[in-house]
Amino acid sequence: MHRKVIIIGSGPAGLTAAVYAARANLEPLVFEGSQPGGQLTITTDVENFPGFPDGIMGPELIEHMRKQAVRFGATCEYKTVDRVDLLSSPFTIWVKDKKYTADTIIISTGASARLLGLDSEKELMGYGVSACATCDGFFFKEKEVLVVGGGDSAAEEAIFLTKFASKVTIIHRRDELRASKIMQDRVFDHKRIEIMWNSSLDDISGTKDSGVTGAMIKDTVSGDTKKISCDGVFMAIGHIPNTSVFKGQLDLDDKGYIITKPDSTYTNIPGVFACGDVQDQTYRQAVTAAGTGCMSAIDAERWLEEN
């Protein structure tokens, strides 16, 4: 199957690109990927997206965007891209063994929660280990949980989890939080949140049957370790861009983000554009993702006219 525009990723960047490309009669095809809707689908209230004075639920906002794109002729498919060839034109994309070609590709694959990389973390993910407090907090009513991290998202998750958990302990490597002042104040003032400073999570104990039962915490100053008991562990240690499928073909920075040319969404390959969190480690907002998504569709449309 051949398309003028294929969009990889379905968060606010990809869907805004789809709205614009569809309105330009480019009939874009959107591969929604393994987390359709992206990170907005694991948030609750979005209070800072312009146009919604009372806030809107993340998943609902995404649903609106998808409907808007489809209304103008975009096709959205629940498929995940396995392999790409961006080195010859037309570009080729494989979903399993099925091949698609495109004149232009817009990459909006976003970023995913970073994990520590422990075997126990992987083993117990979904069994007490979580990267999404809004999704899983409910299952920790009157339980004791840890939040690993020290930024805004760690503070937000900790505060959210106090709705359910009897005790929330933030495990943070340093002796101060990176979170914004307002979030820090909310954390410090909260009776059920404790902070373990200069601490790192070294291991998680538990089984799939029992769930998480405890964690090994290391003092980053003295190097001493101690075991504490807990029922859940929530990871909030930042994000990593979803670019593994493009490695070796697109220019990425040392953290794996796609490098775009200043004031545009152009990548190093003409005809391939990138928008949203996959190329942004500074702003990372729904509205900035949507903004660069719009830019990428306009860039693609002009590029198609000229080539």
Partner 1 sequence: MAENVIEFNDQNFDSDVLEAGTPVLVDFWAVWCGPCKAIAPIVEEIANDYNGKVKVGKMDVDRNNQVAMRYGIRSIPTLLVFNNGEVVDQVIGNVGKESIESMLNKALS
Residue 65 CB, nearest approach to partner 1 (Å)? 13
Comparing CB distances to partner 1, the nearer of 126 and 270 is 126
Helices 58-71 and 12-23: crossing angle in degrees, nearest 10, is: 20
Which entry of 45, 76, 103, 132 is annotated as an active-site residue?
132
Comparing CB distances to partner 1, the nearer of 150 and 206 is 206
Residue 76 CB, nearest approach to partner 1 (Å)? 10
Comparing CB distances to partner 1, the nearer of 79 and 218 is 79
Does residue 202 carry a catalytic annotation? no
Which entry of 45, 76, 85, 135 is annotated as an active-site residue?
135
Comparing CB distances to partner 1, the nearer of 138 and 283 is 138
Which entry of 76, 103, 136, 230 is annotated as an active-site residue?
136
Residue 108 CB, nearest approach to partner 1 (Å)? 16
Terminal-residue alpha carbon distance, the chain: 20
DSSP the chain: -EEEEEEE--SHHHHHHHHHHHHTT---EEE--SSTTGGGGG-SEE--STT-TT-EEHHHHHHHHHHHHHHTT-EEE-----EEE-SSSSEEEEETTEEEEEEEEEE---EEE-----HHHHHHBTTTEES-HHHHGGGGTT-EEEEE--SHHHHHHHHHHTTT-SEEEEE-SSSS--S-HHHHHHHHH-TTEEEETTEEEEEEEEETTTEEEEEEEEETTT--EEEEE-SEEEE-S-EEES-GGGTTTS-B-TTSPBP--TTS-B-SSTTEEE-GGGG-SS---HHHHHHHHHHHHHHHHHHHHH-
Measured in whole angstroms, the distance separating CA 104 from the mean position of its chain's CA atoms is 24
Residue 147 CB, nearest approach to partner 1 (Å)? 16
Residue 59 CB, nearest approach to partner 1 (Å)? 4
Does residue 132 carry a catalytic annotation? yes
Does residue 152 carry a catalytic annotation? no
Comparing CB distances to partner 1, the nearer of 236 and 252 is 236
Residues near partner 1, by CB under 8 A: 33-37, 40-44, 57-59, 62-63, 78-80, 96, 125-128, 130, 132, 134-136, 138-140, 208-209, 211, 232
For 270, left (φ over 0), alpha (ψ -120 to 50), or beta? beta
Residue 148 CB, nearest approach to partner 1 (Å)? 16
Comparing CB distances to partner 1, the nearer of 113 and 237 is 113
Q: Which residues are catalytic?
A: 132, 135-136
